[in-house]
């Protein structure tokens, strides 16, 4: 799978013909590149809802995407949709809902915002305030969500809302499918990195939907959320591994070709040891990802493994970017090289899908603390 997908970088340039730095500078969404990847890669994954997708296949695909696509914002946008929205949707949707939405979510025609986080609650599903109230056989939806990926381009959303305050998260959270224009887009944020992926607010003001807009059963939101986070944390970790591999190879090539004092800098132990450490860390990250990927959808819970993956791989992702920049010296700090952009993108990886601190809390809780 990886060998098949490696040429995607050249294909993207030929098909989309977009300047990543130009898009990055102006926060522009590369729609042609999105269409190409979704239709030619993601749509061919076995995600039909009849059974859990193959975790190894999905993670191989996202590792290859991270390796081949140097636009971290585009890769993240694709990951957020596929891993946290489309896969949970496929697993919980009715046949009628799948017929209406699934193929278009997979091929990118439908762009789905995943609306979970709230300003005061963060991603703590136990502290949500946005509401879904029963009203004459329908549901009245109200609330504001923040940090919603793909919000500017979204023509649908999966929104997590409190449907029964007394039950709390265990039985009191329900997920609704909300089509545009039944939600409003609030502020979209200027960001340090991932600039080609829009992130912002989704607003519901007395939006009325029927029971057919409910994803899964009423009160099933916590289970859907857990499924989404397991897939997103492991799948995005695979994507980081691909990006780290690409940057590592760039560092090796640069270390061979950059000559100082008549000697390639890679011959200096200060540089060669960085190369050796990065190679070891990337290999360890890859092993952790695929151990977790092999269990996705096959074991009752992979949440602890997903959190360990997310914590370990995202921290090493930042470290690899920093080491590659250090090897490139002043050149690494320049926009002519992609490293400074990758480093800015990488810093988000320890924040979205649950911060590193949240992952440590989850791991500690699974350890009995």
Where residue 251 sits, what CATH number does that domain have?
1.20.140.10
Name the residue among 200, 199, 206 with its Cα closest to residue 186.
Answer: 200
Choice between 242 and 297, residue whose per-residue pLDDT is larger:
242
Boundary (domain end) residue, out of 62, 89, 106: 106
Q: Which of 63, 118, 201, 232 is catalytic?
A: 232
Considering 83, 106, 129, which residue would you say is the last residue of a domain? 106
Residues 231 and 359 in one domain: yes
Q: Could you tell me if 362 and 232 lie in one domain?
A: yes
Active-site residue flag, 232 = yes
- List Cβ neighbours of 357 (8 Å cut-off, separation of 6 or more): none
Q: Say if residue 4's pLDDT is above 60.
A: no
137 in the same domain as 98: no
- For the stretch 37-54, pLDDT in tens is 999 889 989 998 888 899
How many structural domains comprise the chain?
3
* 148 and 59 belong to one structural domain: no
Asked if 116 contacts 80 with a C-beta cutoff of 8 angstroms, the reply is no
Q: Is 161 exposed, middle or buried (0-12, 13-18, 19+ CB in 10 A)?
A: buried
What's the pLDDT at 196?
94
Mean pLDDT of 315-341: 95
Instruction: Tell me the whole-structure pTM to 2 decimals.
Output: 0.93
Residue 63 sits in a domain whose CATH number is 1.10.540.10
Give yes or no: residues 194 and 271 share one domain.
no
Q: Is residue 123 pLDDT above 70, yes or no?
A: no
Q: How far apart are CA 63 and CA 245, in angstroms?
A: 9
Per residue in 220-255, pLDDT (tens digit) is 999 999 999 999 999 999 999 999 999 999 999 999
Question: Which residue, of 106, 132, 150, is where some domain finishes?
Answer: 106
The verdict on 335 and 235 lying in the same domain is yes
Q: Which residue range forms the structural domain that includes residue 334?
A: 223-366
Look at residue 1 in the predicted model and tell me its pLDDT: 44
The Cα–Cα gap between 3 and 183 comes to: 41
Whether 141 and 247 map to the same domain: the answer is no
Q: Buried (b) or exposed (e) across 183-203, using 16+ Cβ within 10 A? A: bebeeeeeeebbbbbbbbbbb
* Residues 211 and 245 occupy one common structural domain: no
Query: What single-letter DSSP state applies at residue 192?
Result: S
* pLDDT tier for residue 297 given thresholds of 50, 70 and 90: confident
Residues 181-218: tens digit of each pLDDT: 999 999 999 999 999 999 999 999 999 999 999 999 99
């Amino acid at each position: 799978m990886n060998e098949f997908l490696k040429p995607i970088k050249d294909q993207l340039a030929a098909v989309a013909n977009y300047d990543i730095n130009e898009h990055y500078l102006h926060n522009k969404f590369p729609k042609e590149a999105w269409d190409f990847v979704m239709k030619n890669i993601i749509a061919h994954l076995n995600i039909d809802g009849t059974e859990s997708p193959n975790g190894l296949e999905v993670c191989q695909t996202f590792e290859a995407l991270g390796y081949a696509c140097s636009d971290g914002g585009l890769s993240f946008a694709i990951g957020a949709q596929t891993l946290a929205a489309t896969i949970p949707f496929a697993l919980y949707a009715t046949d009628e809902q799948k017929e209406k939405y699934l193929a278009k979510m997979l091929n990118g025609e439908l762009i789905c915002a995943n609306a979970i986080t709230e300003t005061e609650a963060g991603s703590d599903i136990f502290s949500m305030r946005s509401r879904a109230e029963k009203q004459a056989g329908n549901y009245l939806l109200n609330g504001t969500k923040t940090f919603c990926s793909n919000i500017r381009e979204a023509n649908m959303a999966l929104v997590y809302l409190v449907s029964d305050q007394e039950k709390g998260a265990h039985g009191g959270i329900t997920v609704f499918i909300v089509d545009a224009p039944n939600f409003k887009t609030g502020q979209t944020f200027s960001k340090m990195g991932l600039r080609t992926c829009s992130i912002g607010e989704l607003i519901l003001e007395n939006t009325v939907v029927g029971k057919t807009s409910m994803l899964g059963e009423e009160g099933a939101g916590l289970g859907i959320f857990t499924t989404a986070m397991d897939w997103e944390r492991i799948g995005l970790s695979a994507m980081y591994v691909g990006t780290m591999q690409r940057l590592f190879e760039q560092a090796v090539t640069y270390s061979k070709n950059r000559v100082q004092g008549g000697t390639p800098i890679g011959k200096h132990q200060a540089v060669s040891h960085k190369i050796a450490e990065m190679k070891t860390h990337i290999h360890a990250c890859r092993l952790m990802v695929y151990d977790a990927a092999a269990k996705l959808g096959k074991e009752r819970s992979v949440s602890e493994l997903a959190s360990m993956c997310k914590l370990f791989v995202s921290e090493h992702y930042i470290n690899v970017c920093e080491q590659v920049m250090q090897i490139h010296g002043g050149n690494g700090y320049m926009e002519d090289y992609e490293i400074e952009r990758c480093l800015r993108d990488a810093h988000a990886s320890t924040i979205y899908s649950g911060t590193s601190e949240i992952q440590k809390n989850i791991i500690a809780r699974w350890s009995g603390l």
